[in-house]
Structure 1
Amino acid sequence: MLKQRIITAIILIGLLLWALFRLPLDTFAIVVAGVILIAGWEWANLASLNRALRFVFIATLGAALIGVAQYVFDMNFSAGDEDRAQRVLVVACFWWALALLWVQGYPASALLWGNRWVRGVIGLFVLVPAWLSVVILRGMEQGAWVVLFVVAVVAAADVGAYFVGKQFGRHKLAPEVSPGKSWEGFFGGMAACGLLATAVAFGLGLPMKNSILFIVGVIITGLASVLGDLSESMFKRHRGIKDSSSLLPGHGGVLDRLDSLSAALPVFTVAAIASELPKYLQDL
């Protein structure tokens, strides 16, 4: 299993790097939309939709992606409307704030979202902003590196939580959702995100005000990544499954690999715009 997991991880990393650094932006946006649609098929399973309704969900998700592309980019991915993008992403951030309350209140909160139609709508709020965010970030100066940085933030939150939690974990973070996570690990992950953000802000030469906004934004991004992981765990526990699918050997499904990123990407994109990060990337 470990060998299979490592091989799959290497392939996934290679595909990610190829897409980020080799594909033009419009092609990249289409490829990522394809990945989102695959994740959408898996989400439809989490929502307990039957096979016919899964196709309806995928069609709805595809229409939503096209609608957002038209609204924000007018189908020209190199010329997005920043104000319109922020409106969509702020809605996504509000959704994740609501998800935090639901995770804290599980299993009682399932009364609010347990209906399959509600879970289907939630999938749109999770997947569409994630696609929009990664396209916006990839379109920035040094965009491929910016996307990789978000991946690094998610990894820092995960690795920091693992090592600190393993050594010092005593108090359960969300025992009804993910019994293995602890508050000590959570704070260890946030500390790792803060250190990473501080190093990058210093390296970019951001002014103090922008640096503070950036660092706080990255820490909140790390928090969001944990919430994304917990949210999918909550939906899977409610559905009674371990993985979203078996598409990726040793890793479960596409959604299992995107759970943390789906929450981290919109939050980081809002933070990047607020800290004027794109302006400083132009000088690199």
Structure 2
Amino acid sequence: MLLQRILTAIPLAILSVWAILYQSTEVLMYAFLLVTFIAGWEWGQLAGIKARSLRIVLAIVLTVTVYLAYRYILHTPWLHYMLMVTVTWWCLVMYRMAVKPPAPASDKFSVIKLLIAFITIVPPVLSLLRVHEIGQGAYWLLYMISLVWVADIGAYFSGRKFGKVKLAPHLSPGKTREGLYGGLLLTSLYSGAASVFFKLNFEQAFWLLVVTMLATLISVAGDLFISLLKRERGIKDTGAILPGHGGVLDRIDSITSSAPFFLVMLDFILRHG
């Protein structure tokens, strides 16, 4: 299983780095539209949509929404308002997961879960594209995405070595608090290396450390939220397109919550230069 995950992850990582560093934001947008379409198809299952044709319709609507938002919202104040709403939404999600157990597994259609797709998928995609446009944007975007990878690596090895206390046993039994601490430690070191690379001053480096650790915590919320939806639907993975990883949503779950927050705070960090 681990070997299969690695064999899938390596070409994906190489392709992602190449696209981020050497392609324009416009080209990247079309790549993200493909990811959005697949994620929309998978979300149809989470929402209880059984008809393949209707799942395709949802995927198309989400993809078109991202495209239109890129064209008409990305460079307007509306993006800021959208991000504020999204960050608030994730705070509410974290509270909900902390105080309320998942509902019993059901395959019934849910309008609410259908609508949640738009706030879970659209703002993060716009955030990634907006980061790519700013100064040194390709490298900032690479940092933001790789931050999730680094956190996963730290959590995996720390959890295997020291993991005892379950983080959220009702949602993801495999995650431990010790794994989370390992992820936070490794990402904090990673932020230090990034501060040197981006030549940040002391104040900027401090805030990058704070933002990095908060983004790591928020990324866990995205991971657990998708786990919650899968449990309530009675499924293990959102799809099977990525061998060893499951579906696209299984791979981008952490980014859905961390990307909007990171974009908001990155603007704050750069203004303190």
Q: TM-score, normalised by structure 2?
A: 0.89
Instruction: Look up the match of 1:152.
Output: 146
Instruction: Look up the match of 2:24.
Output: 24
- Please give the root-mean-square deviation of Cα atoms over the aligned residues, in Å: 2.3
Amino acid in structure 2 at the alignment position of 1:249: P
CA distances 1:231-268 after superposition (whole Å, capped 9, x unpaired): 11111111111111111122211111111111121111
Instruction: Look up the match of 1:13.
Output: 13
CA distance in structure 1 between the aligned counterparts of 2:120 and 2:24, rounded to whole angstroms: 25
Assess, with a 3 A threshold, how the Cα gap between structure 1 residues 3 and 174 changes in structure 2: closer, same or farther: closer
Whether the 8 Å contact between 1:157 and 1:226 is mirrored in structure 2 is: no
Instruction: Look up the match of 1:256.
Output: 250
Cα deviation for residue 187 of structure 1 reads 2.1
Whether the 8 Å contact between 1:93 and 1:267 is mirrored in structure 2 is: yes
| Superposition map of 1:42-57 within 5 A | 42-51=42-51, 52-57=53-58
Instruction: Look up the match of 2:132.
Output: 138
CA distances 1:36-75 after superposition (whole Å, capped 9, x unpaired): 11111101111111224323322331342134223324xx
CA distance in structure 1 between the aligned counterparts of 2:80 and 2:193, rounded to whole angstroms: 26
Instruction: Look up the match of 2:82.
Output: 88
Matched, 1:165 2:159: yes
Cα deviation for residue 178 of structure 1 reads 0.7
Cα deviation for residue 3 of structure 1 reads 4.2
The share of aligned pairs that are identical, in percent, is: 36
SS of residue matched to 2:73: helix
Task: Give runs of ≥4 in structure 1 deviating > 6 Å.
Answer: none
Whether the 8 Å contact between 1:37 and 1:58 is mirrored in structure 2 is: yes
Q: Answer with 135-144 or 171-180: which moved more.
A: 135-144
SS of residue matched to 2:101: coil
Cα deviation for residue 185 of structure 1 reads 1.9
CA distance in structure 1 between the aligned counterparts of 2:156 and 2:3, rounded to whole angstroms: 21
Cα deviation for residue 115 of structure 1 reads 6.2
Assess, with a 3 A threshold, how the Cα gap between structure 1 residues 3 and 164 changes in structure 2: closer, same or farther: closer
Amino acid in structure 2 at the alignment position of 1:26: E
CA distance in structure 2 between the aligned counterparts of 1:129 and 1:110, rounded to whole angstroms: 29
Matched, 1:271 2:241: no
CA distances 1:112-148 after superposition (whole Å, capped 9, x unpaired): xx96111111111111011101101111222222122
Cα deviation for residue 110 of structure 1 reads 7.5
**Equivalent of 1:237, from 222, 228, 231?**
231
SS of residue matched to 1:244: coil
SS of residue matched to 1:275: helix
Whether the 8 Å contact between 1:106 and 1:176 is mirrored in structure 2 is: no
How many matched pairs?
Answer: 270
CA distances 1:129-183 after superposition (whole Å, capped 9, x unpaired): 1110110111122222212211221122222222222232222111100112122
Any stretches of 5+ residues in structure 1 without a counterpart?
A: 74-79
